[in-house]
Structures are given as structure tokens and as C-alpha cells.
Amino acid sequence: MIRRSGLAILTLLCGCATASSGMTASYSRGPAEAAARLLAVHNLERSRVQAPPLQWDAFLASAAASYGPVLARTGRLEHSPRATRPGQRENLWK
């Protein structure tokens, strides 16, 4: 499975993969709801340029979340080693 990320902020905050159809999901309040709202706004902008919508990818979200503390610890914004993220790409932005 090939995963593609949207905006840099989505790559860092959550995981997204290209969706083949619209997304329907139920989220509880808290970080998941915030991520869902961010994703909905992002997909609205994608629709304006006829780009396919993104959908939540829990595996990609977990991988991105595990790398955030590494960036915080080093104090440098740099890509993770490619060997540790097969099939994933990163788009870092500060």
C-alpha cells in the first residue's frame, strides 16, 4: 500500500492517505475530533482543485506521532531515516 500525505501539517499532526471515495467517520471529542476537523478543512481545499480527498490512516498517524518527540529532543527539523518509513514520504515545514 502506498501512502501519500497532504500538507506538511497533516503529515506531522496526523496520517492521511488518498481516499478512493468520500470519508464518513465518527470521532469523540479531543485530539481525534481536532484531527477530523483539520482533515475536513484540508479536503475542502483539495476539492476546490479537483484533488482526491484524504482519509485518516491510523498507522501513518502513529508513525508521525512517534517521530515528533525525536524532533523535539534534537531541536532540529530533519527527515527521519528513509529506511525507518518504507512507503512513506515526509514534508516537514516550520
Q: Hey, what's the torsion of the CAs at 69, 41, 84, 67, to 10 degrees?
A: 0
| 94: confidence class by pLDDT, cuts 50, 70, 90 | confident
Specify whether the CB–CB gap between 10 and 39 falls below 8 A. yes
Which pLDDT value is given to residue 9? 39
Which of 1-15, 16-30, 66-80 has the lowest average pLDDT?
Answer: 1-15
Which pLDDT value is given to residue 15? 53
45-65: per-residue pLDDT in tens?
A: 999 999 999 998 888 888 888
9-36: per-residue pLDDT in tens?
A: 344 444 555 444 344 444 446 888 888 8
Sorted by where each begins, the domain ranges of the chain are 8-75
